[in-house]
Structures are given as structure tokens and as C-alpha cells.
Amino acid sequence: MKPAGLRAYFDAHPEIRVAIFAGKGGLGKTTSSSSLAYYMATEKKRKTLLFSTDPQASLSDIFEQNFFGRGVIEVIPNLYVVEIDADRRVAEYQASVKQKIREMYGLEELPREIEEYIDSSSAEPSMYESATYDAMAELVAAGEYDMYIFDMPPFGHGVRMVAMAEILSKWVEKITEARSQVAEYEQVAASLKGERAQEDAMMAELVDIRRRITTFTDLITNQTSTGFFMVLIPEQMAILDTDRALSMFSELGIQLSGLIVNQVYPPELIEQPNLSEFLRNRLEGQRPYLQEIARKFGDHVLSVVPMYTREPKGLEMIAQASADLMDCKVAI
């Protein structure tokens, strides 16, 4: 089988304005997301924001330019890149929480135990993920770009981000319901005393947290405007991980838009008479896994990207990878 390439998918789904690339680390998510962003910016002329949620600063690596924590940077016309500094974002969030507690309770300083508890929360993985998806939702909600492309962190984090949003949403919903009842009692009590009920700052904060979580969940699961892609390579572990990920994402209500098979040796190489033994072994080693991918995932495969003779870094190689991703030339 030879897939048509990602161009055919986007031609058939012009309403897609958010593309998310997920998958295990080191398989080519950053290359794929950068390639799509390059295509959208140069050929479609869409103002495109490429966003990395990977703490390894991989976009800086592939574009050979330091983006980390420096805000949105225009790389070429219509292509903007941002790599958030999640640690700094967590620190800013903690500072805002402390400030809100001081304002709510009229305190000049927080009790030491509460200060230490908030500071220690930065070690929680959920804080990093919360900061990351909050940034994703904020960017899309601002509506400044025609196309948003997200390079998700390695598979485990990506799944946990989505699962945590659902868990947090249910938890906040229950707390909000309880707080709403308390607010009603306080209002009745104030009326009986002939007083005016005060604005409930805690309730407003809970409602805001729930709004942000809902915005993120809607962004991820909206099949009309969001394309959700996974990247894998022809190796046993990658196939097993992809199979498991598809089941988990399905349980979370996320429908896969398609798969990208990366780092595939062009099969016609086998015909070359002077082919090295190393390359011949690599080609023959990939063959059963490519057959397994075709059998197991079938029509989900949208494109097959070849293995390059050098790392896909710099604009010239990104342009090459983009052409191969959008118009697939390799069969599996």
C-alpha cells in the first residue's frame, strides 16, 4: 500500500485549524509537526503557530534556533514558533495562587506551612502538565493564527494530560456544586440580617478553573476542527505502544485522524547492486514490521516518511521532510 500523504487529508478536511502530533519520544513527532507547519505557512499561506509542549526543547534543535522560553518567534513569513518554559509558567501560577489567598483572607503574609505546600507542588507532574495545556488552550482561544500545530510531549505525558483534564474537571465540578450550595445559604443568611451578600471569590476561582479545563478538553476532542495524529516507526515496541495508545485515546473520547510512519528505508534501495550489508539488513529488518503496520492499522496510515541520510535539521531539510510528508512517495 502507498498512502496519499497528508496533503490529501487536509484537502478533504479544510476546516481543521488545530493539528496535534502525539506518540512515543524519538519517533519523529517534532519532524512531522515542523513539516506540516512549513507546508501550511509556505504553500497554504496560512498564519501558522507551531507550539512545543516537549520539555526537551526539540523545536530549537530542529530549526537550529533557540526558542525556549522566548515567546513567539517568526521563523519565516507565516510560520511562528513557541516553546514554553513550563517551569517558569508553574512559578508564575504559584505566585498568583499565593496572591489570591492573601487577597481572599486579607493576609499580608501566608502561614509558613501553606507557603511551603504551594512551593512543593511544583514537583508534582500534574503542575507541569496543567501549565502546558493551559498554555495550549490560551493560544487557541486568542485566535491570532489560522493554524495551530502542537508537538505533544512523549506519549506517557500526552495521555496523562488528557486523562488528568477529565479527572480534574469532575473534581472541580463536585467542589463547585458544594460551594454553590454554601453560597446560597450565605445569601439567605445575609438577607435575613438585612445585609447584602458578598461576592464569592472562591466560587469565581473554581468557575474559572473549570472553564479552562473545559476549553482544553473541547480543543482536544473536537473532531471537526482538530486533527489528531500519531507517529510511529517500523519497530516492534513502537507498534505495540501505538496499539496501546489508540485504545487509551479511544477510551478518553479522542478519535485518531491518522498515523505517520517515519524513518522508513525506501524499498527500491534493495535493487542497488552495490548496497552495503548494513543497509540491506536494515531494509530486510523493517519489512515484517511494515507489513504488520499495514495489516494492523490499515487505512489509518496517511503518510510514510523515508529515512534520510542526515538528520532533518534546518530549513532545507524541513522543506524536504515536508514534501515527503504531504505527498507520500514510499509504499509499505
pLDDT at 125: 56
Predicted local distance difference test score (pLDDT) of residue 54: 67
Give the C-alpha separation, 259 to 9, whole Å.
11
Q: In this predicted structure, what is the pLDDT of residue 263?
A: 94
Those residues with Cβ within 8 angstroms of residue 109's Cβ, 6 or more apart along the chain or in another chain: 102
Distance CA 24, CA 157 (A): 10
Q: What is the pLDDT of residue 102?
A: 79
pLDDT at position 123: 61
Alpha-carbon distance 50 to 6, whole Å? 17
Sites in the chain below the pLDDT cut of 70: 53-57, 121-130, 153-172, 175-176, 179, 183, 186, 190, 192-203, 205-206, 209-210, 212-213, 216
Half-sphere exposure of 206 (CA within 13 A, CB side): 16
Return the pLDDT at 110.
Answer: 79
Strands (E), 156-218: none
What CA–CA distance (Å, rounded) separates 309 from 269?
A: 13
Diameter over CA atoms, the chain: 95
Rounded CA-CA distance 207/201 in Å is 10
HSE of 65 in the Cβ direction (CA atoms, 13 Å)? 15
Helices 125-142 and 155-192: crossing angle, nearest 10°?
80
* Cα(10)–Cα(18) distance, integer angstroms: 11
Q: What pLDDT was estimated at residue 240?
A: 92
Q: What integer pLDDT is reported at residue 227 of this predicted model?
A: 93
The three cell numbers locating residue 162:
488528557
Cα–Cα separations (whole angstroms), residue 208 to 96, 117, 203, 204? 14, 22, 9, 6
